[in-house]
Amino acid sequence: MEIQSNFSLKNHNTFGIEAKAKQFVAVHSVDELKTILEENKNAKKFVLGGGSNMLLTKDIEALVIHIDLKGKKIIKEDDDFVWVESQAGETWHDFVLYTIDNNFGGLENMSLIPGNVGTTPVQNIGAYGTEIKDTFVSCEAMNIETQEIKTFTNTECNFGYRESIFKNEVKDQYIITSVIYKLTKRNHKINTSYGDITAELAKNNVTTPTLKDVSNAVIAIRQSKLPDPKELGNSGSFFKNPILLKSDFEKIHQKFPEMKYYEVSETEVKVPAGWLIEQAGFKGKRFGDAGVHKNQALVLVNYGNATGQEILAVSREVQKTVFEKFGIHIEAEVNVI
């Protein structure tokens, strides 16, 4: 393992932001990770996965540890279910395709989400009616201080909407090394409840969709709305969809009856942040090399040489204008560093 100094992170974040790491090392096994942590006990550390859910606004004055653990295996199965373990450094979309190729159901609606497997529990990632918590069994994580491995069960992760224990109670204390998912082998619960998926399947004359059909539909939808980070720097959805109390929403809805919403419980509704941003006039708007994507207002983009500070400034202007217009605060989903 070679620790490199003054290392460019431009190719290690999907926004394509030029920022430097004071020191950088890639680890390829749990033993390597343990060694690096033991040998650099007093160094400030920054853990880096696929670089897909962060906005770098400055150089990282720390030892950046890139988690590049690879491998996946079936650890248990019965007639109906299979328990699959993936190492944290596996690319999420490649892992999803692996499960579909093996006819394992549960992850197909989350096809083409950028990032690595190890970060999926941190965010409780989700798309088109499914979330990681629906299939997540447990993960193993190394304590940064003691190098001990701890197993976190689904319940212990305290999953919420784009939330988990790793963003709150134990933030910056653990590095996830592997994740186990419980997937179906038969009697798959095909979820096509989102209108976009239904329309895409109908367009392709699919009446009895397979896992692969749903995955292909999701990929087509995402590719039509979301830019490829290799071609246009971005981090997917920059903002969370705000969840409001029904009592608060009803007052806002009276002023804006055309506002879209989804019921999430008896007392709460979710409002699409993309709709709010588009109505506030930001869709397709460009500020130098930073801007809001022309096809999906949830996505902030780097047209080439934007700095993290410039993209952050756009995000704050979006938040400010949406709040002034609707009285709704939209939170960043992306971690701002």
Which of 131, 162, 164, 215 is catalytic? The answer is: 162
Structure tokens at 153: 């069960």
Which of 52, 111, 138, 237 is catalytic? The answer is: 237
DSSP 236: S
DSSP 193: -
pLDDT at 266 over 90: no
328 Cβ contact list (under 8 Å, min separation 6): 242, 244, 252, 271, 276, 322
Q: What is the DSSP secondary-structure string of 250-318?
A: HHHHHH-TT---EE-SSSEEE--HHHHHHHTT-TT-EETTEEE-SS-TT-EEE-SS--HHHHHHHHHHH
Closest CA to 304 of 277, 286, 330: 286
DSSP 239: B
- Annotated active-site residue 178? The verdict is no
pLDDT (tens digit per residue) in 56-78? 999 999 999 999 999 999 999 99
pLDDT of 5 reads: 94
pLDDT (tens digit per residue) in 145-173? 999 999 999 999 999 888 899 988 998 89
Spatial separation of the C-alpha atoms in residues 157 and 208, rounded to whole Å = 35
Mean pLDDT score of the chain, rounded to an integer?
92
Burial class (CB in 10 A: 0-12, 13-18, 19+), 169: exposed
The whole-number average pLDDT for the span 254-282 is 91
pLDDT of 272 reads: 92
Percentage above 90 pLDDT, the chain: 73
- Which range (15-19, 31-35, 127-131, 212-216) has the least confidence? 127-131
Confidence of residue 231 (pLDDT cuts 50, 70, 90): confident
- Annotated active-site residue 324? The verdict is no
**Residues 225/228/234/240 CA torsion (nearest 10 deg):** 40
pLDDT at 289 over 90: yes
Confidence of residue 140 (pLDDT cuts 50, 70, 90): very high
pLDDT of 178 reads: 96
pLDDT at 237 over 90: no
Q: Where are the alpha helices (DSSP H) in 40-130?
A: 92-101, 120-123
pLDDT at 276 over 90: yes
Q: Which residues pair with 334 in a beta bridge?
A: none
- Annotated active-site residue 162? The verdict is yes
Percentage above 70 pLDDT, the chain: 100
The residue type found at 90 is E
Q: Compute CA distances 276 → 1, 80, 149, 247, 304, whole Å.
A: 47, 42, 43, 19, 26
